[in-house]
Homo-oligomer: A and B are copies of this chain.
Amino acid sequence: MTNAQAATKIVRVSDPVNLEFPFETLSSDLTPTDAFYVRNHFSQPEINVQAWRLSIEGAVEKPLQLTFPELLSMPTHTVTSVLECAGNSRVFLSPKVAGAQWGLGAVGNAEWKGVLLSTILERACLAEDAVDVVFEGADKGVPDEQPKPCNPIYYARSIPKSKALEANILLAYEMNGAPLSEAHGFPLRLIVPGWYGMASVKWLQRIVVTEYPYDGYFQKIDYAFWEERDGLPVRQPITEIELKSQIAQPAAHSVIDANSTCLIYGAAWTGSSKIAKVEVSVDGGKEWHLANLGESDNPHAWIFWHYQWKTSATPHDTILMCRATDTEGRSQPLTRDLNKESYRISHTLPISVQVR
């Protein structure tokens, strides 16, 4: 962590360092790298890129050991994608739940450049009976919560084989046009557009193809939830980002001039489909007004929106809210589903302001 990073971000946890983007400063489509949130589970590892190799092993016909220069020499691909921490906006939950108390800023939008995962997997040649593809980072430690392994583990997350072969999953070595920084996963980071950030493993060192469902700590204990199937609760990994919009300005607890025009603006994103509309409420959810939507051709990037609010002449306290709807007709729920436990906080979030 450089001092510059610490200066522009909110420290949510100091050890290991977890830093939040101050969402009220949202101004550019691409979140500047030094303002981009940092979610660490263990201490940032030190990597000697000369000695570093990306190992592709397990249920593959041709195991690979790739050097950094070898990766750089392969065909490149670029994708602009939101990364959102699965615990973003946790501070809004009531009752309080364990975990870093993220506000609105454990989310960012960046341009990622690297090699398509499918290119590497095709080269390694997946076995017929491959089930999951596991991505192991170089960051290592003992997780916080039971049940946990006795010994330190590497951070690892998997995606199913069919998902791994999709044409937008990237092994990224550049972020926003510059080499990936150490804080963001140098030399190589997986980017899974449309999935919560826990899937985009940093400091990638090993890709293990398994012939069995990978039931690792960050797959079935943490970053997981109970889903009812056949009337039985079963533990499922968190995957796709949920439809969400957030207000950047006015920030919570702002004082706004009465009898004036206030620009309410923010961003909206979704894991699949496309944002169709964003609505804004200036009275705690009683009435909803259509916001103006920005343009975006990129399905995984966020989209900006704004709404001109004519404030009344009468001083009052009120609650601002925004709510996105996608092209499949899904809308953000108005209330929290408690079955979601401490992740996927995607209901409309109340922003208290004063008109004076």
Contact = CB atoms under 8 A, between A and B. Distances in A.
A46 interface: no
Interface string A256-272: 00000000000000000
B233 A153 contact: yes
A339 B148 CA distance: 10
Contacts of A181: none
How many chain copies? 2
A304 interface: no
Interface in A213-252: 213-217, 220-221, 224, 226, 229-236
A286 to B, nearest CB: 30
A217 B230 contact: no
Contacts of A236: 215
Interface string A58-84: 100000000000000000000000000
Contact of A149 (B149, B153, B217, B233): B233
B145 A146 contact: yes
Contacts of A145: 146-147
A50 B339 CA distance: 35
Interface in A147-161: 147-151, 153-154, 156
Contacts of A146: 145-146
B214 A234 contact: yes
Nearest to A217: B233
B147 A232 contact: no
A108 to B, nearest CB: 28
B235 A216 contact: yes
A283 interface: no
B212 A229 contact: yes
B220 A215 contact: yes
A125 interface: no
A6 to B, nearest CB: 32
A57 interface: yes
11 contacts: A147-B221, A147-B341, A149-B226, A151-B339, A154-B232, A208-B230, A214-B234, A215-B220, A216-B234, A217-B235, A221-B235
Interface string A171-215: 000000000000000000000000000000000001010101111
B226 A208 contact: no
Contacts of A279: none
B134 A232 contact: yes
A20 interface: no
A139 interface: no
